[in-house]
Amino acid sequence: MTEIKDREFSGERPLYAEHDLYLENVVIHAGESALKETGNITAVKCRFEGKYPLWCCKDFTVKDCIFTVGARAALWYSSGLLMEDTIVDAPKMFREMDGMTIRRVLIDSAAETFWSCRGIRIEDVTAQRADYIFMHCSDIRIDRLKLDGNYSFQWTRDVEIHDSILNTKDAFWETDNVSVYDSEINGEFLGWHSRNLKLVRCHITGSQPLCYAENLVLEDCSFGPDADLAFEYSSVKATVKGAVTSVKNPRTGFIKAGSIGEIILDANIKAPGDCMITTEL
């Protein structure tokens, strides 16, 4: 493996198509596609300032690095990424990628990040300003994510999330096979039009959660007082600890809660309209 240390590069494609490189304390200044079409790259304590630095790369490791705002759209069409202990200020990271592990990373400008990616493993990550994060992704395992941003996880499938705090409205729309454990989910219109969404020991806030859902499962969850008009037109199997402010027109299944402030069953309920609602846990 060729070592490059304490160097600076700029311009277009300065390390194009290079393979088997170890970069340490390297600065990639303004320019484009510094490491495009590369393979077996390790970058340690490097600073990326130019656009599109890591496109079409295979098997690369990024540790203790910084991606500045200028390094926009830094990692696209690549595979086999390990990223640890890194700060990302660059927007629109991680698109059309296969196989990545992200640990102890701060993504400060996470809007439109993780689009159409497959095989994502996340541990101890903070994502801020994260509107439209995780669009059209699949095969995701997340442990300890702190997320602030709306419209997250839309059109994702095969997702498992643990011990996370998700501050996000319109989350999990049109998803398939998503499970969330021991987490806090804050935001309006959670999980609409989802299929096989499972929430276990989660706390849920925000108006009109979990509507139009198919095969929805809640186990030992709790609701905030603003989580009203829940379960409209959903097929649901739910056990809720404590109070639910209101339930509206669930389609079928059962809902068991400690208490329910209002149950709304009106002329607009959809067939079969046979959901069992009880306050006996």
The pLDDT tens digits of the residues spanning 22-49 come to 999 999 999 999 999 999 999 999 999 9
Residue 224: which pLDDT band, with cuts at 50, 70 and 90?
Answer: very high
Q: Name the residue range of residue 126's domain.
A: 1-149
- Whole-number Å distance between alpha carbons of 183 and 144: 9
- Whole-number Å distance between alpha carbons of 193 and 129: 25
- Whole-number Å distance between alpha carbons of 256 and 150: 29
User: What integer is the mean pLDDT of 43-71?
Assistant: 97
Residue 242: which pLDDT band, with cuts at 50, 70 and 90?
Answer: very high
- Check whether residue 187 and residue 277 sit in a common domain: yes
- Is residue 36 a part of any domain in this protein? yes
Counting residues of the chain whose pLDDT is more than 90, the rounded percentage is: 99
- Is residue 41 a part of any domain in this protein? yes
β-pair type (27-32, 203-205): unpaired
- Is residue 154 a part of any domain in this protein? no
- Is residue 156 a part of any domain in this protein? no
- Is residue 117 a part of any domain in this protein? yes
- Check whether residue 144 and residue 188 sit in a common domain: no
Which range has the worst mean pLDDT, 58-62, 178-182, 276-280?
Answer: 276-280
* Polymer length of the chain: 281
Residue 281 has pLDDT above 80, yes or no: no
| Whole-number average pLDDT of the chain | 97
- Whole-number Å distance between alpha carbons of 255 and 200: 14
Give one DSSP letter per residue of 117-136, joined into a string. -EEEEEEEEEE-S-TT-SBT
